[in-house]
Amino acid sequence: MNKLKLVFTLFLTFAKIGAFTFGGGYAMIPLIEKEVIERKKWISEDILLEVIAIAESTPGPIAINSATFIGNRVAGFWGSFAATFGVVLPSFLIIFCLSFILRQFMEFEPVVFAFEGIRVGVLALMIKALVGMYKKAPKGLLGYIIMGLGLILSAFTEIDAVFIIIGAGIAGIISSLIADRKLKKQATGAEDGKKEDKK
């Protein structure tokens, strides 16, 4: 009974988070902090930071990743189900209703003009997102090569973006394995050197 109540509270809490964050993703984090940490005390601040780190290194929307992870922490599988369902439901309902209205609105002249301006506004938002992601990306030679290759392949060829993403992931794994091996060699090399010194 208690568990059922907890699962239901999870659903309501995440439905509230889903309904009151505009833009999703990182915009959601302050609200998660307030609801899940301060009010419900389900998790600590450290865990939220870990959740964000995990959400960034797993595929999919950050809001879904966070809801699933926190729900699972609090109440196992059904907790994660309730939290994820909760965070999705408000957007789903709102957009589903809106999709009927949106199409009719798009024909109006002022709306057409407004969206011509808005496209430029969205361009600005994308440039901001690009700069933010550039700052977070590793900067070495490999990083720049992958950035450049990703840009060129995506802009000027028909290659499916999924293959570009998979390729970049594999390149990252290979390069870190090579770097690891080099480090180990250096470490063993240094040890050998010490042994010889003792002799």
Q: Number of residues in contact with another protein, rule: CB under 8 A?
A: 102
> Which CB sits closer to another protein, 1 or 100?
100
Q: Output 40 or 172, the one with its CB closest to another protein.
A: 172
The answer to whether 63 touches 86, Cβ cutoff 8 Å, is no
Stretch that binds another protein, among 4-12, 34-42, 161-169, 185-193 (CB under 8 A): 161-169
Report 30-49 residues binding another protein (CB under 8 A): none
Contact 18, 88 (CB under 8 A): yes
Binding another protein by CB under 8 A: which of 10, 14, 18, 36?
Answer: 18
- Does the protein bind another protein through residue 96 (CB under 8 A)? yes
Per-residue b or e along 79-96, where b marks 16 or more CB atoms closer than 10 Å to that residue's CB: bbbbbbbbbbebeeeeee
d(CA 13, CA 1): 18
Contacts (Cβ under 8 Å, ≥6 apart) of 89: 15, 18
Q: Does 13 interact with another protein (rule: CB under 8 A)?
A: no
CB of 131 to another protein, least distance (A): 8
> Which listed residue (35, 37, 40, 171) binds another protein by CB under 8 A?
171
Written as six digits, the tokens of 15 are 């439905």
Reference 85, options 58, 54, 63; nearest CA is 63
* C-beta closer to another protein: residue 4 or 49: 49
| Site track for another protein across 71-90, x = CB under 8 A | -xx---x--x---x--xx-x
Count how many residues are written for the chain. Answer: 199
Residue identified by tokens 């290194």 is 57
Q: Does 187 bind another protein (CB under 8 A)?
A: no
Nearer CB in complex with another protein: 33/160:
160
CA atoms within 13 A on the CB side of 91: 16
Identity of the residue, 113 or 191, whose beta carbon is nearer to another protein in the bound complex: 113
Determine the interface stretch with another protein among 3-11, 34-42, 151-159, 184-192 (rule: CB under 8 A). Answer: 151-159
CA 32 to CA 45: how far, in whole Å? Answer: 10
Question: Using the rule CB under 8 A, which residue among 114, 188, 191, 194 binds another protein?
Answer: 114
